Amino acid sequence: MTMFPPVEDSVLQNNPDFANLYSKLTNLVLNPDGSTKEDPRAKERAAVREELNRRRLVCAKQHLLTLAISSATPSSTPPVTRASSRLRAPQNQQPTESRSQLQQQPSLPEPLLDLLLILPPLLDANNPPLPQDTLQLLFAHPPLSDLETLLPALAPVIASNLRTWALGLARIAHPSTNPSFLHRHIASLPATLTSWRSDLTAAEADLSTHRLRSLAALTTLLQSASNALSLLVRALEVKHGVVARSLELRAADVALQARRHDADAAIAAASVRRAVYTPEAIAALKNYGAHLRDARMRGEERIRGLQAELGEYGVGVDGGETKERKMREMSRVYRDMARQMDEVKRDLDRLNQG
């Protein structure tokens, strides 16, 4: 994948100097990964990368051999049938298989079966290393002591397992090929994988380029749509411009008339106020307002005095109900006595007249 930031074609077209600089940087100065082409330590880094790739290759070979030994199965199983199962879950295979399964392989001798049981735990990097004494003891007794003798018999088993995996990969790489001809594509698997990686990188670069071109085309399309709308508005103005301007002028005239009538109404209201409220009337109204405020104050003061007097008689005061009843009874007696006095006076007047 390239590390260069994507640049739209329109930006390069509108900025020739920047386009020249971008072309020099991408083609002459920098590599596709963003590193410089004139690095003084490029040779040293190339040697380091070559050594790293070599060690990776050695490690990959060791890993494949370890898996092939750990997942060795009886050769009676058809290779093409075992290929898909090996590709689906080679990591799920156990490091060792039970002796009963290995004994189902009649072509393998007993020492080789023992060797296939002992080698996977020793080759597994996840297992803790054994003490030196234990290793010496293991290599001093069969089957590890006969390892050189058993290697010619072990090699076909490992080769068969590796060939089974390679056939599965060839099946994936060439799904339309007849299974009987898949072995012809085993040798070309590395080249096929390299070609696929190159094609993937090129496809990703093309995808980024097409995305930028799509964005540029979309921008151009939006600009064209904006220009089309501008032309449409101009055409409508040419066709309906006279009517629109006439309506605009009429609306402006109506607005001016409304503002004039508003000003006339304000002037008329001010004239009426001046005619009705003369200075003498305003002064009289002010005096009357002051008199009303004074009368209101006197009335409030009178009300407070009466309320105080009533409070002395127990009216409107909490806890004065007894005193209030007593005062009411005294008032009733007073009225009765006054009525009786009036009757006596009338009787005396009649007697005097008689």
Summarised one tens digit per residue, pLDDT across range 74-124 is 443 333 333 333 333 344 444 334 344 444 444 677 888 888 888 888 877
Going by pLDDT thresholds of 50, 70 and 90, the confidence category of residue 4 is low
- Mean pLDDT calculated for residue range 137-149: 83
Whats the size of the chain, residue-wise?
354
pLDDT of 200 reads 92
For residue 198, what are its two tokens? 């190159």
Confidence at 189, pLDDT banded by 50, 70, 90: confident
Percent of the chain scoring above 90 in pLDDT? 19
pLDDT tens digits, one per residue of 306-342: 888 877 777 666 766 777 787 788 888 889 999 999 9
Q: In angstroms, rounded to a whole number, what is the distance separating the alpha carbons of residues 175 and 155?
A: 29
Beta-carbon-side half-sphere exposure of residue 261 (alpha carbons within 13 Å) = 6
**Taking the alpha carbons of 85, 86, 87, 91 in that order, is the dihedral positive or negative?**
positive
* The most confident of 23-37, 87-101, 109-123, 200-214, by mean pLDDT: 200-214
Q: Which of 14-28, 106-120, 199-213, 252-266 has the lowest mean pLDDT?
A: 106-120
Q: 154 or 222: which carries more pLDDT confidence? A: 222
Mean pLDDT across the chain: 80
- Give the dihedral sign, CA 31/34/36/40: negative
Assign 130 to helix, strand or coil: coil
Name the pLDDT band for 251 (thresholds 50, 70, 90): very high
Least confident of 87-101, 136-150, 172-186, 225-239: 87-101
Report residue 30: phi and psi, to 5°: -110, 155
List the end-to-end C-alpha distance of the chain, in Å, as a whole number.
147
pTM (whole model) above 0.75 = no
pLDDT (0 to 100) of residue 90: 40
Q: What is the mean pLDDT of residues 254-261?
A: 94
pLDDT, residue 93, reads: 41
**What pLDDT does 89 receive?**
37
What whole-number distance in Å separates Cα of residue 309 and Cα of residue 340?
28
Q: For residue 251, what is the enclosing H or E element? A: helix 189-276
Q: Is residue 37 a contact partner of residue 28, using CB atoms and an 8 Å limit?
A: yes
> What is the pLDDT at residue 92?
42
DSSP string, 160-193: HHHHHHHHHHHHHH-TTS-GGGGGGGSTTHHHHH
Question: Which residue from 145, 169, 212 is spatially nearest to 4, judged by alpha carbons?
Answer: 212
Give residue-wise pLDDT tens across range 278-292: 888 888 889 999 999
Lowest-confidence range among 10-19, 213-222, 255-264, 312-321? 312-321
Strand partners, 30: 36
- pLDDT given for residue 354 in this prediction: 64
| Residue 36, φ and ψ in degrees, nearest 5 | -80, 150
Q: Contact 145/104 with Cβ under 8 angstroms?
A: no
- State the average pLDDT over residues 48-58: 92
**Which whole number is the average pLDDT over 145-173?**
85
**Quick one: pLDDT at residue 107?**
63
pLDDT at 3 > cutoff 60: no
What pLDDT score was predicted for residue 312?
75
Domain boundaries, given as residue ranges, for the chain? 40-187, 317-354
Tell me how far apart the alpha carbons of residues 239 and 197 are, in angstroms, rounded to a whole number.
Answer: 62
Eight-class DSSP state of 30: B
Rounded to 5 degrees, φ, ψ at 28 are -115, -35
CA–CA distance, 72 with 275 (Å, rounded to integer): 122
- The answer to whether 181 touches 189, Cβ cutoff 8 Å, is no
* Cα–Cα distance measured from residue 147 to residue 220, given in angstroms and rounded to the nearest whole number: 74
Cα–Cα distance between 94 and 73 in angstroms, integer? 12
Lowest mean pLDDT among 135-149, 189-203, 316-330: 316-330
Q: Is the separation of the CB atoms in 167 and 80 below 8 Å?
A: yes
Query: What is the per-residue burial (b if ≥16 Cβ within 10 Å, else e) of 314-340?
Result: bbeeeebeeeeeebeeeeeeeeeeeee
Q: What pLDDT is recorded for position 348?
A: 87
